Amino acid sequence: MSEYLSNIELFFTEPRNIGNTYIVIDGSDAKHIQKVMRHKIGDKIFVTDGKGRIYKGKIEKIKNGSLKINKIDIIEYSEKYKNITICIPNLRKSNRLEFAIEKATELGITNFIIFNSKRTISKKVKIDRLNKIVLSAMKQSLNCYLPKITFQNSLSFLKDTNSGIVLFDQANKSMFNSSSLNTNKNYFLLFGPEGGFEKGEIPENIIISNFNLAPNRLRTETAVVCVVSKLST
58-106 pLDDT, tens per residue? 999 999 889 999 999 999 999 999 999 999 999 989 999 999 999 999 9
Q: Give 1's pLDDT tier (boundaries 50, 70, 90).
A: very low
Could you tell me the residue range of the domain that residue 40 belongs to? 5-76
> 209: closest CA among 189, 231, 232?
189
Does the pLDDT of residue 4 top 80, yes or no? no
Interval 151-168: pLDDT, tens: 999 999 999 888 999 999
Give the confidence band of 3 by pLDDT, cuts at 50, 70, 90: low
Note whether 208 and 167 are within 8 A (CB). yes
The answer to whether the beta carbons of residues 220 and 114 sit under 8 Å apart is no
Residue that terminates a domain, selected from 16, 47, 76:
76
Please provide the average confidence, as pLDDT, over all residues in the chain: 92
Query: Where residue 183 sits, what CATH number does that domain have?
Result: 3.40.1280.10
Overall number of domains in the chain: 2
Q: What is the pTM of this model?
A: 0.92
**Mean pLDDT on 155-184:** 89
Residues 223, 219: Cα–Cα separation, whole Å = 6
If asked whether residues 25 and 64 sit together in one domain, one would say yes
Q: How far is CA 97 from CA 38, 155, 229, in A?
A: 34, 18, 17
Domain finish residue from 57, 76, 95: 76
